[in-house]
Amino acid sequence: MVEKITLSVSLAERPSQNYHQWFKHICTVAASLCAHLYPHGLLFLVLPQATYMTFPDVGDQYPVPAQPERPVGAATATNLAIYKETYENWQQFRLNMQALRAAIIESLGDAIRRSQLDIATGIILHNTNTIMANIKAAYGIITSADLTQIRAELAKPLLGSDHTTFTAHGAEFTENVAIVARSGQPLAYWDQENIFLETCSGFVAVNDSNQRYIQANPILANRTLAALITHTTQQLVNIPVGATGYANAATVAAIDPNHPAFKAAVAAAVAAHMGQQRPAGGAARRQAPGGAAPAQSRPRMYCYHHGYLGHKGSKCKHMLADRTAFTQAMLDADFPGRVPGGHT
């Protein structure tokens, strides 16, 4: 039995101001339901099919669950077991789908709920996709109060220089830029870039990486906010974009970079990379005197381009990809004084 779902964000009051938070909250809840059966849970119940198909790990499969047919005749024990599992999954999907739809309808509030009623029957006949599309058409419009709040959110400073915090910051910033654009009051790229750079100015590593992207792309027309964020993310994790799924995730970024599925794709890629750097065989960390674990889980290694980080210069993908700019001495450097001028 599936428990009743209650959404913490509703449109009962100030629907125009609350629409975007309401939508994100529903997406978060939908992503958590039946996540073991579908790549992104029940997101396909609240997103248009064209949007859902752009998510990573979806492929050409758009979930259209149907009740499985019971085996006939002399079915084997294996076939019966498969049927039982498939039927239970279908039942779970159906119950979760009904619970999610009921929660969405409840979150609309009385006034909006009445606008969705069928005139003949007096009940809501729409499926969740149609309900979400109707509400977006009516309340997904930005007001002046929304713009004031979003402009303030754009200026919020970055809270940390690790790749996870930076990725979340960039995703939220990009989403707010997209909301402003949808309101008919888009920010020029020059303004987007300057505001974003200012929010990152408190962290040297992030700021320096941002500036390197600008130096490498001096023509303003050739720069984009997505490329800037991707560049700095790569620098912070030292992994190539093609090998981590960021290329697919970037497609989602154009739709809703703050979406849980986008964050999950990035987090999974980073986790996979970090797992490759652990000692083979999962060797236990050496204990410091007195039984206390050392402060760091892996040694700090020097890279001529990145400084002290979790990799050696000889393993730096950035330098290896550009041998015209980095010499063998730079690759072999094991401390700053080895090459005149230290790391870049």
Task: Give residue-wise pLDDT tens across range 60-102.
Answer: 778 888 888 888 777 788 888 888 988 998 999 999 999 999 9
Whether the model clears a pTM of 0.85, i.e. scores above it, the answer is no
- pLDDT tens string, the chain, 344 residues long: the values are 567 899 999 999 888 778 888 998 999 999 999 888 888 899 999 988 888 888 888 777 788 888 888 887 777 888 888 889 889 989 999 999 999 999 999 999 999 999 898 888 889 999 999 999 889 888 876 667 777 888 888 999 999 888 888 988 998 898 788 778 867 788 899 999 999 999 999 999 899 999 999 999 999 999 999 999 999 988 887 643 333 344 344 443 444 555 555 566 556 655 655 554 444 444 444 444 444 444 444 456 778 877 766 678 888 888 888 887 788 888 888 776 667 655 55
Three-state secondary structure readout of the chain: CCCCCCCCCCCCCCHHHHHHHHHHHHHHHHHHCCCCCCCCCCHHHCCCHHHHCCCCCCCCCCCCCCCCCCCCCCCCHHHHHHHHHHHHHHHHHHHHHHHHHHHHHHHCHHHHHHHCCCCCCCCCCCCHHHHHHHHHHHHCCCCHHHHHHHHHHHCCCCCCCCHHHHHHHHHHHHHHHHHHHHCCCCCCHHHHHHHHHHHCCCCHHHHHHHHHHHHHCCCHHHCCHHHHHHHHHHHHHCCCHHHCCHHHHHHHHCCCCCCHHHHHHHHHHHHHHHHHCCCHHHCCCCCCHHHCCCCCCCCCEEECCCEEECCCHHHCHHHHCCCCCCCHHHHHCCCHHHCCCCCC
